[in-house]
Amino acid sequence: MAAFSRQHYIDLVEKHYFGNVDKKNMQSVLNCFQTDGSLTVQTAPITHQGRDVGVRAMFQTLFDSYQVIWHGNFEHTVDVENECIATRFDVRLVDQRGSEVELHNCNFWYCRDGKFQRVYVFMSGENVLRWVVSLAVV
């Protein structure tokens, strides 16, 4: 039997992760990751390695770059036995000058012990999860 339920993974993605990304709650977002977790923007391609270094720096840049962040219209496929979830969703961002970006993305999360171990992001447009590339693993 699986240690975590289907609803656990859906709540992890919608409430704990995206809900806190949208509110710019850094520590709550980071709490969704294992300490050695990574986030790869497959369409860039760039990998942000380590919860407290790469992932944190990426989110700090996102939070500083956009005054409005919204994720919604979620569609999930969950594999409870293998601790995986794939989600299709929409994104709306408004930058500091008032310009809007709309994306239609898909993320794949591979978890360990109920938290994100590896995240793969596929974006329909520009990479909005960028930061100083010299600190990232490409």
Please report the domains of the chain, with CATH numbers, ordered by start residue: 6-135 (3.10.450.50)
pLDDT of residue 134: 34
Confidence of residue 130 (pLDDT cuts 50, 70, 90): low
* Calpha distance 98→11 (Å, rounded): 30
- pLDDT, tens only, 5-43: 999 999 999 999 999 999 999 999 999 999 999 999 998
pLDDT of residue 137: 43
Q: What CA–CA distances, in Å, run from 129 to 1, 4, 23, 82? A: 36, 29, 16, 27
Is residue 109 a contact partner of residue 13, using CB atoms and an 8 Å limit? Answer: yes
Residue type, 66: Y
Length of the chain measured in residues: 138
Q: Is the pLDDT of residue 136 over 80?
A: no
Q: Is the pLDDT of residue 1 over 80?
A: no
- pLDDT, tens only, 43-99: 888 999 999 999 999 999 999 989 999 999 999 999 999 999 999 999 999 988 999
Q: Which residues neighbour 118 within 8 Å (Cβ) at sequence distance 6 or greater? A: 37, 38, 40, 109, 110
pTM of the model: 0.90
Q: Where are the beta strands (DSSP E) in 21-65?
A: 33-41, 46-49
Report residue 51: phi and psi, to 5°: -55, -45
